[in-house]
Amino acid sequence: MDAVIIDTNVMVVANGKAAAPQASEECVIRCRARLAEILRGPEMVLLDDKKRIIQEYRNNLNEKGRGLGDRFWLELKRRFYNPKGYPETVIAVEITPLAGNGTDFEEFPNDDAALNNFHKKDKKFVAVALVYQRDFGQEAPIIKAEDSGWEKFTDALAAHGVQVDSICEEDI
């Protein structure tokens, strides 16, 4: 069972240079290709049960679906809310918020000092990866575009079994 977790920046970059002027044209092309591959292939997309990831996508993408990233998100949303029509394409796992703030999670390795300054809004992606690993016994990489915020934490995350795959390594 192959699964991935998609950082929002992949869809934003797939929308093109107007949405992500910092990304190279090659990065835009690779993000578009990766999203198309996910839609066609056997990979499942992992989300959280309380729709925190879906909400982040909604806050950063356009419901009118003008860009490829927007259209991917709309298709993902359709598959999330209509699982009977798309069996085994989207899985929502339960993550446990701490302190009611929606950015800290029981499943995140909060006691690891190397992750103290990890971006709060990205903790949900890591928590989803760790829950999937625990519950399904398999790793699911977090895929990102050119977001450099992950880079200084990749080794610390890897120590917990969380793999971060960069689509646009040269843009970082």
Closest CA to 48 of 84, 15, 6: 6
Q: How confident is the model at residue 171 (pLDDT cuts 50, 70, 90)?
A: low
What is the pLDDT at residue 130? 98
SS3 of the chain: CCEEEECHHHHHHHCCCCCCCCCCHHHHHHHHHHHHHHHHCCCEEEEECCCHHHHHHHHHCCCCCCCHHHHHHHHHHHHHHCCCCCCCCEEEECCCECCCCCCCECCCCCCCHHHCCCCHHHHHHHHHHHHHHHHHCCCCCEEECCCHHHHHHHHHHHCCCCCEEECCHHHC
Distance between CA atoms of 154 and 164, rounded to whole angstroms? 6
pTM: 0.92
Tens-digit pLDDT profile for residues 105-161: 999 999 999 999 999 999 999 999 999 999 999 999 999 998 778 999 999 999 999
Higher-confidence position of 80 and 107? 107
Q: Alpha carbon of 143 to those of 9, 21, 165: distances in Å?
A: 9, 20, 5
Tens-digit pLDDT profile for residues 19-53: 888 889 999 999 999 999 998 878 999 999 999 99
